[in-house]
Amino acid sequence: MSKIHAAITAVHGYVPDYVLTNQELETMVDTNDEWITSRTGIKERRILKGEGLGTSDLAVPAVQALLKKRGIGADELDLIIFCTTTPDMVFPATANILANKIGAKNAWGYDLSAACSGFIFGLATGSQFIESGKHKKVLVVGGDKMSSITNYQDRATCIIFGDGCGAVLLEPNEEGNGIIDSILKSDGSGVTYLHQKAGGSVRPASHETVDNREHFAYQEGQAVFKFAVTNMADVAHEVMERNNLTGEDVAWLVPHQANKRIIDATARRTGLSDDKVIINIERYGNTTNGTIPLCLWEWESKFKKGDVLILAAFGGGFTWGSIYLKWAY
């Protein structure tokens, strides 16, 4: 019998309508378009506006469109892995909330939290359920309402983040396409440099934590950049080297969209020319778990069956990883 791989058989994304431009940010904090663009590559990002809307509301339209595209019902899904840093609630899992909203009555599910590497970790995890034969249809969702934990008085972070969500369907493939290999890593000593101080069990919400603005993403930019620029590039190179791939063999690099300079460094390390690198950071900023699936969604029409894709990400934790996959359709 030929080996079963977990292949992506459908992908879709969703971004909210409201566009937050660099020009609007200039009116909120001491920054300017040139400074933001030269350091991050970001021109605008999307923001989910409206009372009572959370990350699951970004996922619903993405998943509904994906199911329609694939021609299946939500009741055919076996498992939902929701990769997010901004769950609707501390509990229950946003995967459960999403399942209820879309009518996935036969699926079990859970949330996966690994900051910006979450979607890659989720893909690797979901693929195990397919490869083992346990499940036939696994939905992996990556999405965040980063505006809910962004401090719009902090010019170091508010220029970076946006809201968005993407989803992929994993199904068995016996033609040799799908997820071939992954390398996943983490280093908990990075917690100091990138975290949200309050809202967990160590510092539960109180008057003090709210007054001190501790319920927002905090980042020591230089330290994170130094670690990310090396490790994201190295892990992408490592998965290629382990599978005897050169830049010639790879059709597309799908990097996490955190910073244009980190993306460029990863492209150089893997020996890929600019025309093989997927970039949409200028329009969406860093949507955390949403970046990679949104890239796959926007470039889907350019992918050909058998194309080699290298996915790479880096996030808080620190977490980082890469996936080597062959496109299945």
Question: Annotated catalytic sites, by residue?
Answer: 116, 256, 286
In sequence order, what are the residues at sequence separation of 6 or more whose Cβ sits closer than 8 angstroms to the Cβ of residue 206? Answer: 198
For 161, which DSSP code? B
For CA atoms 35, 40, 42, 46, the dihedral sign is negative
Dihedrals phi, psi of 303, to nearest 5 degrees: -75, 145
CA-CA distance, 269 to 181, in Å (whole number)? Answer: 19
β-pairing, 138-145 vs 79-83, is: parallel
Q: Report the SS3 class of residue 164.
A: strand
- Which candidate, 289, 290, 279, places its Cα nearest to that of 15? 290
Dihedrals phi, psi of 239, to nearest 5 degrees: -70, -30
In sequence order, what are the residues at sequence separation of 6 or more whose Cβ sits closer than 8 angstroms to the Cβ of residue 132? Answer: none
